Structure formats: C-alpha cells, structure tokens
Amino acid sequence: MKIVIADPLPTSAADLLSTEGWTVDAETGRSPETLALALADADALIVRSATRVDADLLEKAPALKVVGRAGTGVDNVDLDTASQRGILVVNAPGANSISVAEHTFALLLSSARAIAEADAHMKAGRWEKKRLTGTELRGKVLGVVGLGRIGREVVHRGHAFGMIAVAHDPFIASQVAADLNVELLELDDLCAKADFITLHVPSTGDRPLFDADRLAQCKPTARIINTARGTLIDESALADAIARGALGGAGLDVFETEPPTDRSVTGLPQVVATPHIAGSTREAQELVGLETATCVRDYLKDGVVRNAVNYPSLAPDELTRLQPYTVLARRLGAFLGQVATARTETISIRYYGELSEGNNEMLVGSTLVGFFNTVLSSHVTPINARRLAKERGIEVIESSSSRPRNFTNLISVKLHTSEGERWAEGAVFEQAGPRLVLFDGVTVEAPLDGTLVVIRNNNQPGVIGEVGTVLGRHQINIATFALGHGPAGAVAVVKIDGSDGSEHPVTDEVLGEIRAVEAVRQAAVVTL
C-alpha cells in the first residue's frame, strides 16, 4: 500500500501507517502537478484544508481507494466524483470537538465582556473603563444551532456558566435533547429567544442560514458566534445589523472568503475575529491526525468503514458485529458471479437470525463488490457498487426473515437471471470461517476460499469417482470434496489443494472433461 499525505500531520499519524509496512509519502507543499504524479500509484490520500481534491486530481489517481480529511469539513473534496469512482471519503468529526467548543466560549466571553476592544485600548494607552460595560452569562439564553458533538460540548459549558440552553436541530431525537437539558425550537423561535447564538452545522447551500431576514429575527442585544462555516452568515447583512445597533455583536472564526478581503465585519469594534483557529490546538491536531490515519488504515486493512462522509458509517459495536459477515457476503457475491453465466436482472440479499436487525448496508456493499469484481474490469468498492448496479439495470433487493434456521446468522444471496435463479447461502463458523451451506436449493457444506470446482449433477452413483479421476489424471490434488443432494438434484464442491505451493490450474480442458461426465449438468471454477 502507498499512502500520500499532502498536508502537514503529526508524525504519529504517519508512524501509524508505516508500522503496517506501507509506503508513506509525507512530502507537503507540492504543486497540483507534482501531487498528481505521486498519486499515480497511491492507495490513499490524506489532506487537511489546504489541498483541493477535485475531479481532475482524482482522475489522475486510478488506484485510489480512500481520501482522509484530517478535520471536520470536506468542502475541499469533490464528493460526487469520489463516490462515482468508488473512493471512500473519511474525516475526523469528533477529534477537535473540545478545542472548537472551548474556542466558541472564548469568542463568546470575549464578545460579552468586550475583551478584544479593551485590550486594543490598553495597548494604545487608553483607559476606557466606563464605556466597556459587559454582560454576564448567568441566566442568559444560549441558542445552539446544531447539536452534534461540538454543539453538545458547548451546551455543557453553557450550563457550567449558569446559562439556559435552547437548540435547533431537526435531526436530533427529542430524548437526546431532554437528556442534555435543552429545549428544541424552530430556528426563528431560537433567534427571537437567545441572547447568544452559536453555530455548529455544515454549509446550507447557496443561501446563508443567517441572511438579513433571519438576523432581523434576533434580539438587538444578541451576539452571534460562528466557528463552523463562513457561508452560514451573510457578512454584509451582519455588518449592517451590527452597525445599525440591530445586533449586539459577533465572534467569528470562519468567513465567506478566507482570508477575508472585506474588513466591513472584522473591522467593527463589536466583532471579535480569529483566523480559523478553533480546532488549532496541539491536542486537537494530534487527535485529528491519528483519527484520520486510523480510519484510513482500518479501511485499507480490514474494510472497516468509520467516519465516512459518502457511505454509511456504523458504531464500533455494529462494526464488530458485522465484520465477519462482510467477508461472507463478499465471497457469496463472488461465488455466484462466477457460477452464473446468464445476464443478471436482480440481486436479492436476505438476512436470517441476528442479522435480520440493524443497518446492513455494509453487507449489501460487500455482496455487490464480490459479484461485480468477477464480471467488471472497473474499480468496484462498496461506495460505488449500488450505482454500478443501477447503471446496469440490476435491481438490488434487501430483506430479512425471522424464520428460524439451523444457524445463528445466515446470509442468502439469490441472482435472478435471464436463464433462471442461482442461489447461495452462507454462514460463519467459529473455527472454519465463511462456509457455503446451500447452493441452488441443495444443502451442502463447503469452504468459501481458495479454488473450487462447483458441479451440479444428477443424483446417481459414480459421479465422485469420475470427477476424481479427471482431476487426478491432470495432477490436481483434492483438498476437500463436499457433497449434497435433495429434490433439486445433487451438488459437489471440490476444493483444490494448493498447500504444496504448486499450481495445478483447472483449465478449460479439465473443465470440459468434467462437463463431459454423463451425470454432470453444470460445472464451473470459482476462485475466492
């Protein structure tokens, strides 16, 4: 694996990746052209905010599997292009939460007590004590827009100062807000009630969340704190409101244009401004770098998706639960992709047992990756697998069943093709790993690894001997020979022994001889 780190990160992040035996290219400050050359054979790219990961750069990185953004925002990453190319994009949304929350309160306190203006007067040799009367935080209403990790940390600090917290977040459960002792309000109602308004949400598109109309809903004494995104506030409207006395002031760490070219806001004495440093603490930088590197490592090494921006992420306990079954799902998809020769119209995935509950999108992605990697030459990952299915007119159906089976957890994958159905079921055995337990309606237990010869045959004596004779004649050793039979016929799954390091490929000639056995109806080679 080759990892390119394009922006400065703590050495601990690079060390984490180097210990895997991977090549880490951590040269910073490269031109786009030089960076593109480095990415020609790279598996991962890690950036901060300085490097723009646009469509042109991604086009020049054909092997890229993951982009790590060391920070929260991903405005500098072309998510649409990354998703189309099957590239996972991860960030570190919680690593700098404490730093940003503390900086939010630094701006809030500075605004409430005119700290910056008082300091400027002192440095100029002026003693302006009477005109710099501030306001207490105790008993004031703190309006928090966005109750994510940072917003919640801000709430805790507000409570410590004796403030009354209200919040606006349409995606938060009412019970979560109640546990935080926060009243949930519509945004306009929050503006009308809050003495301090602090923003902790992503960009909202072309229109600022706080334009002239929204600012007019605020108290004339209210102060707005923004450590999230500069595009959330119309700066000209903000400057006008403060200058007219329609708003008490602001504390800003982010701006519409960075660095700002217009000082109409930052030049106001009622505004405390800092140069986008809310997350810039030693502790946060270390955590952000390590968390991003860890996400990249886990995805490249184990396929674990955490902190994803363009793919569903799971909680750690869910990841632990699903991890063994992602391997099973991928191998079932690959198994069917190699035994089915007709045009696939539908892929149905059904879960039994404990897998019937929870978010199984990771299993869907793994199944599709396994299937498409056997039939497509293009780069397929869980991120673009559903899109590839849609482009090829393949319907993906996901379902679950509470019907008891003989296994604690079971995954069933069925292909609906132009020539009928192909069907495989699998389970994870504690010692043996992923196993095939049913094929085309016939119960059979076989390993899902290595090279397999999969045979459908009539249920009659002598088939085993004839197939074994064909393989022996071509010096192909058999590791295991699994058999199953039922009303739908018989199935044989032969695993080829490669333990001695020699290669005895099952060539078309060998496969032709197996198919020539009178009782054999179908035969295919599967490599997992």
Contact yes or no for 361/325 (Cβ under 8 A): no
Choosing from 59, 128, 258, 283, which is the catalytic residue? 258
Q: Is the pLDDT of residue 430 over 80?
A: no
Of residues 193 and 94, the one with the higher pLDDT is 193
| 159 burial level (CB within 10 Å; 0-12, 13-18, 19+) | middle
Dump pLDDT digits (tens) for 454-507. 999 888 888 888 998 999 898 888 889 999 988 878 999 999 986 555 555 788
Give the model's pLDDT for residue 376: 76
Task: Verify whether residue 27 is a known catalytic residue.
Answer: no
Q: Which two tokens stand for residue 396?
A: 């993906």
pLDDT at 408: 77
> What is the mean pLDDT of the segment spanning 308-325?
76
CB of 95 closer than 8 Å to CB of 73: no
Mean pLDDT within 339-366: 88
User: How many C-beta atoms lie closer than 10 Å to residue 352's C-beta?
Assistant: 21
> Quick check: 34 and 40 in contact, CB under 8 A?
no
pLDDT value for 315: 66
Confidence of residue 316 (pLDDT cuts 50, 70, 90): low
Q: How far is CA 504 from CA 18, 166, 334, 490, in A?
A: 36, 70, 21, 26
pLDDT at 314: 67
Q: Which of 78-82, 114-118, 138-142, 430-434 has the largest mean confidence?
A: 138-142
Average pLDDT, the chain: 90
What whole-number distance in Å separates Cα of residue 204 and Cα of residue 211? Answer: 12
The pLDDT score that the predictor gives to residue 218 is 97
pLDDT in the model for residue 122: 93
> In this predicted structure, what is the pLDDT of residue 499?
55
pLDDT of residue 304: 78
CA distances from residue 385 to 127, 298, 311, 359 in whole angstroms, order as listed: 67, 20, 11, 17
Distances (CA, A) of 381 to 300, 391, 428: 11, 15, 22
pLDDT at 205 exceeding the cut of 80: no
pLDDT on residue 232: 94
**pLDDT at residue 313 is higher than 80:** no
* Candidate list 229, 297, 331, 456, residue with the active-site label: 229
What average pLDDT does range 298-310 have in this prediction?
84
Read off the pLDDT band of 176 (50, 70, 90): confident
* Structure-model confidence comparison of residues 131 and 162, the more confident one: 162
Per-residue pLDDT band for 234 (boundaries 50, 70, 90) equals: very high
Does 392 qualify as catalytic in the annotation? no
Span 134-144, mean pLDDT?
A: 97
As a whole number, mean pLDDT of residues 180-193 equals 96
- pTM as predicted: 0.63
Say how far apart CA 238 and CA 246 lie, in whole Å.
Answer: 9
Active site residue 258: yes
* Ordered domains of the chain (ranges, CATH): 2-94+283-302 (3.40.50.720), 97-273 (3.40.50.720), 316-527 (3.30.1330.90)
Q: Residues with Cβ < 8 Å from 368, sequence gap 6 or more?
A: 333, 347, 380, 382, 385, 386, 388, 389, 396
Selecting among 52, 113, 276, 515, the annotated active-site residue is 276
Strands in 23-25's sheet, in edge-to-edge order, are 23-25, 2-5, 44-47, 66-69, 88-91
